[in-house]
Amino acid sequence: MDMDVSFRSAIVNGDTLKMFVGQRVRTVLKVQHTQGGILVGQSTDGHQLTIRGASEGRESHYLEVVGIADNDQSISAESCKDFGDDFGEI
């Protein structure tokens, strides 16, 4: 039985992203700003990450990003989901 593993992704933060360069990753970050198609955000552990190709992202909103890790500080987004401004709060 063949399983489609194309959508599997490692859950990373800013510190662990470096271990998955070239691989599909998933992370949540707080959007700081966007500029010229590039989104800059803060990871849950305080690192600044650059997201290329993000289709969404409002300032101060939390965004889940799935994509390919370009390097230890950058991800090329395949999909994004806006969680609003209160991620993790009840």
pLDDT digits (tens, 9 = 90+) for 45-62: 999 999 999 866 788 899
Say how many CA atoms lie within 13 Å of 10 toward its Cβ: 15
Kindly indicate the confidence band of residue 21, based on its pLDDT and cuts at 50, 70 and 90.
very high
CATH class of the domain comprising 19-84: mainly beta
56 φ, ψ (degrees, to nearest 5): -135, 175
Q: What is the pTM (predicted TM-score) of this model?
A: 0.85
Domain boundaries, the chain: 19-84
